[in-house]
Structure 1
């Protein structure tokens, strides 16, 4: 559903089921502008650990973290990462991401 929301807003989306898959996609591409992750995900790495790994390897990459059950505590999000609580409205998600990343139709 999130992929559809973001594609409808004009973003190109690459989906990953686990953090390791997300890191493999990031390793193989140079055209990814942001990472959106849930805190709770399958596999051996949480979304917070993924956010930290992304920040370490791609320091300028915007990271947006979400969860419906877990709220990050002070200092748990990497510098520059943002959090949006579930449930959120599609417009809220797009607006939050838009603040972190220029819209694809803006020419930036």
Structure 2
């Protein structure tokens, strides 16, 4: 088999400034079979998106340090990379799925693995 057969595994970019929360999200997604890339800020996520065309899903916290929020990041991703599915989370803000750009999904924090996995699978299919 060629090396590119691994491209069928969806790649999720997890953007979360809380190190422990990010680690738990990464673990749950990897345990479910996803390949995961991590970023601690929206600015770092944009750098990754510029260089990694394999990203298929963005899973971002809203409340982020730096020059933009996770919601700003989701807006930019929807505009520039419309093929990337969007999942937004927050423990501070509550959104409806309709408020997430590009038919994305909102998952409230303290989420469980099944909530995140369902949102990742369903985002962008509306």
Task: Give the TM interval when normalised to the shorter protein.
Answer: 0.7 to 0.9
Counterpart of 1:26? Answer: 49
Give the deviation of 1:81 after TM superposition. Answer: 1.6
Aligned-pair RMSD on alpha carbons? 1.8
- Post-superposition Cα deviations, 1:49-95, rounded to whole Å, max 9, x if no partner, equal 00001011001210100001112379642121211111111122112
Q: How far apart are residue 99 of structure 1 and its match? A: 2.1
> How far apart are the structure 2 equivalents of 1:63 and 1:30?
15
Q: Say yes or no: does 1:57 pair with 2:80.
A: yes
* Residue 97 in structure 1 maps to residue 120 in structure 2: yes
Normalized per residue, the structure richer in helix is 2
Q: With structure 2 as the length reference, what TM-score do the two structures score?
A: 0.73
- The aligned counterpart of 1:104 is none
Q: CA deviation at 1:7?
A: 0.5
Q: Partner of 2:20 in structure 1?
A: none
Higher share of residues assigned strand: 2
